[in-house]
Chain A
Amino acid sequence: MADPTRESSSVSRDSPVVLSPEEGSAAVALPSSGPRQRRRGIGWPARLEIAVLSGPAIIIFLTFVILPVAMAAYYGFYSWQGYGRPVDFIGLKNYVTILHDGLFLDALKHNGMIVVLSLVMQGPIAIGMALLLNKKMHGKSVIRVLIFVPYVISEVIVGTGWSLMLQTSGAVNDLLKSIGLGGLAHDWLSDPKIAIWSLMVIISWKYIGFAVLLFLAGLQGIPVELQEAAAIDGASYWQIQRRITLPLLGPTIRIWAFLSIIGSLQLFDLVYIIWGQYVSSTAGTSTMATYMVTNGRNSGNYGYGNAVAVVLFLISLVIALIYQRFVLRRDTEGALTEGKN
């Protein structure tokens, strides 16, 4: 089923969205400089241009992204309250404490659940929504904007609104009572059996727009001709989606899953806003990041907080590398390890 209203008609790329497979072997050389210069590298004027153009970005990036992460690794070996220089070197003691703390292991378990449930809950719905929004219909642009509203509003707004709605005396329970389902009313936020599911509903509602955004962009990159050809051959709409669209959307789906996993591991804002720093662990919604803030900065143990950050980073890194190695490899060949030419 062809959609003649699609925006860009003939973008055929293997991976349309972020992390696109960069050149790999394609040369970027601009043959404007002479052969002598090309053999010897580039001339001084060009070097100056490179330094002037890329210098500011590199400096600010190294200062505020790379350096703090390196500092976290350093401070993690100290017992340090954040004043003066760290002097109390305690080796791996922080890390031992972390890995033996039941509260951290709980948080890790919650993170694991959030990773899996996010993929399972958001993925299929988001694909369905993207397919729906890619069909021809009137008012599509309005619907698109409306569907992205939850993604665009801030976590604080989402958290404030949902926690008011989900209170015991809140709108959700009231609504259930008024339609005769009062028996289903629950303490949505503090019952440890239910709270994580409430969180999952809120997360899905908030972030599904991002998945749809990526999938829509991915769908733009699928050539209409393939679907038209299949339609001419007598394939039904669903056959076309299953056999052609979904496989071609594969790279986008895998990149979304990657970003979703990393995001789930780092989850902080929503939990911290809705449950606060103390309730989240009893309600069963604490995450590694809320554990880090509660036991690091909020209790003045900066050394310990940094050690938690390092653990969080290493877990994310290992999962990311495994995912890169086994899932993303063919999509991002060259994107993260560019320069094999």
Chain B
Amino acid sequence: MSETTLDAPAQVPGTRRERPKRDWGNPTIYLMALLLVAAMLAPVVYIILGGFRTNSQITNSPAGLPSPWAIGNYLDVLRGGVFWQEVVNSTISAVSTTVGVVVLGLMASYVLARYRFRGRAAMYTLFAAGLMFPMTVAITPLYIMIKSLGLINTLPGIILPQIAFALPVTVIILVPFLRAIPDEIEEAASIDGCSRLGFFFRMVVPLSVPGVVTVGILAFVGSWNNYLLPLFILNDQDTFTLPLGVQAFASQYSVDTAKVLAFTSLSMIPALVFFSLFERRIVGGLTGAVKG
């Protein structure tokens, strides 16, 4: 079917060609890359280093380095309960959103990719059109709806809409993946007595891991960083996720810049770690290649 669009077995683990000779290439490339990295990291480094300074250091020399290094700000934040409560809230929200998006998205994409039925085109268009409905447009009625469902100030109140709004991208990325699974595999499975649902769980789920990782990370990072929805739905400090927490902290301790910077740096760690671990997979997953 879609062999024309997609070469299915794009990469088999272990076939990655190694360069025989290790030459270092052009030094200007490294210089440019270095400048680039410096430009992209400078503000982040400013935030992290700022957390190691005292307020008087920051006032006297806003762009200076910590001297001496003060770790009190970080320790204060880590000892306080507020930060950890918000980490827990963010984690619950991000993990539930990711699981929900992957499970629902995979099931719907499987139907779209491998069943033939009337209304399939309409269903695909419905999800694809979802890209046109960003949360900004829907936020006011969404707030009213969540309120009438009694989910204001609860984490499900942000998790459910997050799942719904992540579905379009998920479906659009996953459908080509599932479609690229060769028919022969399904035929072989069916000859061996595997039902279509059995095929789904035994073959489709394992084979779609690269795509699932991509959409999973996008959903996780999107949920972790979401600001608009929690801003509307969560008003109770106990339910705050980290972005709201950072902002609340920044206005509460607006004179204590160093502490704000420490809080801010600590709150970016989880998403950074998560993304760094899987960065390669994202690029790979977006190219839509199915590893056979």
Q: Which residues in A have some Cβ–Cβ distance to B below 8 Å?
A: 4-5, 7-14, 16-23, 26-30, 32, 41-42, 46-47, 49-50, 53-54, 56-58, 60-61, 63-69, 71-72, 75, 82, 129, 132-133, 135-138, 141, 143-150, 152-158, 160-162, 164-165, 167, 169-175, 178, 205, 209, 213-214, 216-218, 220-221, 262, 266, 268-269, 273, 289, 292-293, 296-297, 302, 305-306, 309-310, 312-313, 316-317, 320, 335-339
Contacts and interface: CB of A to CB of B under 8 A. Distances in A.
A7 B25 contact: no
Contact of A145 (B61, B105, B142, B276): B276
Interface of B: 1-2, 4-7, 10-11, 15-17, 19, 24-25, 29-30, 32-33, 36-37, 39-41, 43-44, 46-47, 50, 59, 61-64, 104-105, 107-108, 110-118, 120-134, 136-145, 160-161, 163-165, 167-169, 171-173, 175-176, 179, 183, 186-187, 190, 196-197, 200, 221, 224-225, 227-228, 232, 242-244, 246-247, 250, 257, 260-261, 264, 267-268, 271-272, 275-276, 279-280, 282-284, 286-289
A28 to B, nearest CB: 6
B196 A57 contact: no
Contacts of B260: 160, 164
B286 A136 contact: no
Contact of B123 (A19, A32, A58): A58
A248 to B, nearest CB: 13
Q: A-B pairs with the 6 shortest C-beta distances? A: A339-B121, A154-B225, A64-B164, A217-B286, A57-B108, A71-B141
Given A58-B126, A273-B227, 4 more contacts: A28-B1, A75-B140, A313-B137, A336-B125
Given A16-B288, A57-B104, A22 B137 contact: no
A137 B30 contact: yes
Nearest to A82: B144
A339 B120 contact: yes
A132 B141 CA distance: 45
Contact of B29 (A47, A135, A147, A292): A135
A157 B121 CA distance: 41
A306 B50 contact: no
Contacts of A164: 50, 257, 260-261
Contacts of A8: 10-11, 284, 287, 289
A338 B190 contact: no
A160 B46 CA distance: 11
B283 A220 contact: yes
Contacts of A173: 62
A338 to B, nearest CB: 5
Contact of B121 (A71, A302, A338): A338
Nearest to B210: A8
B172 A42 contact: no
Contacts of A221: 287
Nearest to A309: B137
B115 A69 contact: no
A236 B56 CA distance: 55
Contact of A336 (B62, B129, B136): B129
Nearest to B101: A57
Given A296-B140, A306-B141, A154 B243 contact: yes
A30 B144 contact: no
5 contacts: A7-B280, A26-B1, A65-B164, A66-B130, A154-B227
Select the residue from A64, A220, A266, A305 with max chain B CB neighbours within 10 A. Answer: A64
B287 A4 contact: no
A161 B271 contact: no
A41 B118 CA distance: 8
Contacts of A13: 5-6, 288
B272 A149 contact: yes
Contacts of A27: 1, 116
Contact of A165 (B46, B104, B288): B46
